Homo-oligomer: A and B are copies of this chain.
Amino acid sequence: MIAARVQAAAFDMAAETARLTGGRSDIGAVVTFTGHVRADDGLTALLIEHYPAMTQRQMMAIAAEAWGRWPLLGGSIVHRHGRLLPGEAIVLVAIASAHRGAAFAAAEFLMDWLKTRAPFWKQEERGDRLHWVAAKATDDAAAARWTAGGGTT
């Protein structure tokens, strides 16, 4: 299964992947994606707000969809909320499969979904100025790759 959770605390990527592979010998490929806060244009922090009831419901739905689309052997999604400093990790997607193609595809699929459909909102802090991050058309285009007629898969 793919476990999904939202938390304020930092996560341990090595522990997450060890939990997927520990004691197993059927997994051939593990792909991880970790998103970090970039200090673009003097950014001092990123404030992340989310909608807990919807996040939980939608994360479970998208995890189930990924599970159905690819032959996966395990996965983990962790998304942080609250105030994060430059360099800190925001989000982790870790996917285990027998072979690399499915693991890469599912990890990209889940990241594209998190960027465009998961109910999180980022606010950039630069000293005492705050600015809501706008959604990006490039993220919508990336997510559209996975829907029928939405471009190449």
Q: How many copies does the complex hold?
A: 2
Instruction: Tell me whether A38 and B27 are in contact in the complex, defined as CB-CB below 8 angstroms, given that A14-B14, A17-B13, A108-B104 are known contacts.
Output: yes
Q: Out of B33, B98, B100, which one reaches A100, CB within 8 Å?
A: B33
Segment of A1-9, A18-26, A55-63, A124-132 in the binding face: A18-26
Smallest Cβ-Cβ distance to A87: which chain B residue: B25
A28 touches B32 (CB 8 A): no
B31 touches A35 (CB 8 A): no
Question: Does A29 make an interface contact (CB < 8 A)?
Answer: yes
Give A152 to B108 CA distance when docked, in angstroms.
17
A87 touches B29 (CB 8 A): no
Which residues of A does B touch, CB under 8 Å?
12-14, 17, 21, 23-39, 86-87, 98, 100-101, 103-104, 107-108, 111, 142, 152
